[in-house]
Amino acid sequence: MTQFSDLKLDPKVLKAIHEAGYTTPTPIQEQAIPHALEGRDVLGIAQTGTGKTASFTLPLITRLGRGRARARMPRSLVLAPTRELAAQVAENFDIYAKHTRLTKALLIGGVAFGEQDKLIDRGVDVLIATPGRLLDHFERGKLLLTGVEVMVVDEADRMLDMGFIPDIERIFGLTPFTRQTFFYSATMAPEIERVTNTFLSNPVRIEVARQATASETIAQELIQLSPTRRDAAAKAKRDALRAIIQAEGEKLENAIIFCNRKVEVDILAKSLIKHKFDAAPIHGDLDQSVRTRTLERFRNGELRLLIASDVAARGLDVPSVSHVFNFDLPSHPEDYVHRIGRTGRAGRSGKAVSLMVPADQKYLEAIEALIQKELPRGEPPASEAKPKRSKREEAPKPEVKTEPEVAAKEPAKEAPAAQPEPSRPARERRAERGERARRDPRGAVVGMGDHVPDFLMREFRTA
């Protein structure tokens, strides 16, 4: 079995790997690192959680061991689709480069430009960025990419989903043609293949698992719900989710719960908190400092349930996530693999439970077609198997009465209804009303009836 010591990495990098507790590389690391150290372009296709980050970070640090960074001209560039994934790459760099003098800068949104400008002005060996923030710095004239020796594109399929491919192509055009390129993706859509054919030079293609497959260490389960009304689907899923979490008991150490929409993330988080669950939301509309604190709490074990949009599907590196819940089935089948890949990492076992209502049938079919197997069906929670009828739906119970009560409450026979009076002219009806008024003991109406005010009877002289 290959060891890290067999991969010709820098001794300082090997020391950091040993201190981190790793001895044996994963398949993607074992196959990619030797070619990367030879200077070859690498096209890596692997499922999430297989160690892709270390497969390019370790040879990158080794290659940059000799040389010196210049102001505003980074020596290497790592592009990530989300802030969380970029931060994860930066953490990996800090772990494996701690015995070297290499410097890094993290360029992500939600952070002031000033501090980032200072780091770039000093000169950095490794620049880790999201595409939008990188181009912001470039357009402000604060950054030059002509000195990039190594370029890494991580999670390219996610870049495609988020609409970053035009930005990626532009950034490729700003870097030297002689650069070395690492290109990683879980799937190879035609658009991604076109980019690799255009910008990679005779790459080594490494595919360590079938495209878009889930780890065998993850137990998958699908819960099918049948709400009585379509507009009650979200409530039915919230009720089912709480019942499942309670049924899992101590086996559920922590969990990530995925929703398709940010508004649903907030609604679900508030619902769980209201029912005394330890939960917090994370999505793209939250302030970066809030997102960072929430992730830190989740990593440290201070937070049990993290409700997330797909912004976190590939940006979390928490090896010990025990459960993943798909509150909503993803509209893109590839996202299913990335979501459940947050559990069962590094050989650990995990469990992924997905909730489904009839409207999700097309999403289920797409997922099962992609992973080439049928998701195991699970039983709905006891509280959901026989939904209670609402008070409005309950049929009224027949009232049982005793004989005396029936006799007492039986209404007397009514006289036959009087026939409607034939219509009469309006003048006759008004005359009759006036006659009734005159017979009224309270007197006739005064003011606007037969009485004429005195001032109207006065004579006026005309000159």
| pLDDT tens, position by position, 178-212 | 999 999 987 788 899 999 999 999 999 998 865 56
Q: What is the Cα–Cα distance from 406 to 411, expressed in whole angstroms?
A: 10
Give the model's confidence band at 361: pLDDT under 50 very low, under 70 low, under 90 confident, else very high.
Answer: very high
Provide the CA 314 distance to its chain's centre, in angstroms.
11
* Phi, psi (degrees; rounded to nearest 5) at 105: -140, 140
- Min mean pLDDT across 9-18, 63-72, 237-246 is at 63-72
User: 């290497």: which residue's tokens?
Assistant: 76
Domain assignment present for residue 404? The answer is: no
Q: Is the pLDDT of residue 406 over 50?
A: no
Beta bridge partners of 306: 256, 280
Q: Which of 353, 385, 417 is the last residue of a domain?
A: 385
Q: Is the pLDDT of residue 225 over 90?
A: yes
Say whether both 252 and 228 belong to one domain.
yes
Q: Is the pLDDT of residue 255 over 60?
A: yes
Domain assignment present for residue 159? The answer is: yes
Say whether both 195 and 227 belong to one domain.
no
For 249-397, where are the alpha helices, taking DSSP H only? 262-274, 288-299, 333-340, 361-371, 382-385
The tokens describing 281, both together, are 């939301």
Say whether both 200 and 138 belong to one domain.
yes
Which of 96, 90, 100 has the alpha carbon at shortest distance from 67?
100
Radius of gyration of the chain (CA): 37
Q: Is the pLDDT of residue 344 over 50?
A: yes
Instruction: Give the number of other CB atoms < 10 A from CB of residue 45.
Output: 23
**What's the mean per-residue pLDDT of the chain?**
83
Give the model's confidence band at 134: pLDDT under 50 very low, under 70 low, under 90 confident, else very high.
Answer: very high
313-335 pLDDT, tens digit per residue, is 555 667 789 999 999 999 888 78
Domain assignment present for residue 417? The answer is: no
Say whether both 43 and 188 belong to one domain.
yes
What percent of the chain is helix, strand and coil (3-state, nearest 5)? 45, 15, 45
**Residue 9's pLDDT is what?**
94
Say whether both 192 and 257 belong to one domain.
no
CA angle 380, 364, 389 (to 5 degrees): 35
The verdict on pTM exceeding 0.75 is no
Q: Is the pLDDT of residue 78 over 70?
A: yes
Query: What is the C-alpha end-to-end distance of the chain, expressed in Å?
Result: 132
* Phi, psi (degrees; rounded to nearest 5) at 221: -150, 140
Say whether both 344 and 255 belong to one domain.
yes
Q: Is the pLDDT of residue 365 over 80?
A: yes
Considering only residues 292 and 307, tell me which one the structure prediction assigns the higher pLDDT: 307
118-129 pLDDT, tens digit per residue, is 999 999 999 999
Say whether both 171 and 275 belong to one domain.
no
Domain harbouring 30, CATH code:
3.40.50.300
Taking a C-beta distance cutoff of 8 angstroms, is the pair 113, 63 a contact?
Answer: no
Domain assignment present for residue 282? The answer is: yes
Contacts of 73 (CB under 8 A, 6+ apart): 123, 144, 145, 146, 147
* Phi, psi (degrees; rounded to nearest 5) at 144: -125, 140
Say whether both 191 and 224 belong to one domain.
no
Provide the CA 330 distance to its chain's centre, in angstroms.
9
141: left (phi over 0), alpha (psi -120 to 50) or beta: left
**Residue 426's pLDDT is what?**
61
Q: Which of 207, 230, 252 is the last residue of a domain?
A: 207
Say whether both 203 and 230 belong to one domain.
no
- Min mean pLDDT across 37-41, 45-49, 56-60, 124-128 is at 45-49
Say whether both 88 and 200 belong to one domain.
yes
Q: What is the Cα–Cα distance from 72 to 93, expressed in whole angstroms?
A: 20
Q: What is the Cα–Cα distance from 327 to 297, expressed in whole angstroms?
A: 22
Our count of domains for the chain comes to 2
Contacts of 26 (CB under 8 A, 6+ apart): 50, 51, 54, 55, 208
Which long-range CB contacts under 8 A does 379-383 form with residues at least 24 apart? 379/223, 380/223, 380/224, 380/225, 380/240, 381/223, 381/239, 381/240, 381/243, 381/244, 381/247, 382/243, 383/239, 383/240, 383/243
Q: Please give the residue range of the domain that contains residue 327.
A: 218-385
CA torsion sign for 294, 106, 101, 54 is positive
- Helix, strand or coil for residue 181? strand
Domain assignment present for residue 130? The answer is: yes
Instruction: Give the number of other CB atoms < 10 A from CB of residue 101.
Output: 9
Say whether both 162 and 76 belong to one domain.
yes
Domain assignment present for residue 199? The answer is: yes
Contacts of 199 (CB under 8 A, 6+ apart): 169, 172, 181
> Quick one: angle between helices 131-139 and 165-174, nearest 10?
50
- Helix, strand or coil for residue 403? helix
Q: Which of 335, 359, 385 is the last residue of a domain?
A: 385
Beta bridge partners of 218: 350
Domain assignment present for residue 403? The answer is: no
Query: Strands of 377-378's sheet, edge to edge?
Result: 279-282, 305-308, 255-258, 323-326, 350-356, 218-224, 377-378
410-438 pLDDT, tens digit per residue, is 555 554 555 545 555 666 666 666 665 55
Say whether both 257 and 328 belong to one domain.
yes
Question: How far is CA 72 from each of CA 66, 276, 278, rounded to the nearest angstrom?
Answer: 19, 50, 44
Domain assignment present for residue 313? The answer is: yes
Give the model's confidence band at 227: pLDDT under 50 very low, under 70 low, under 90 confident, else very high.
Answer: confident
Q: Is the pLDDT of residue 391 over 50?
A: no
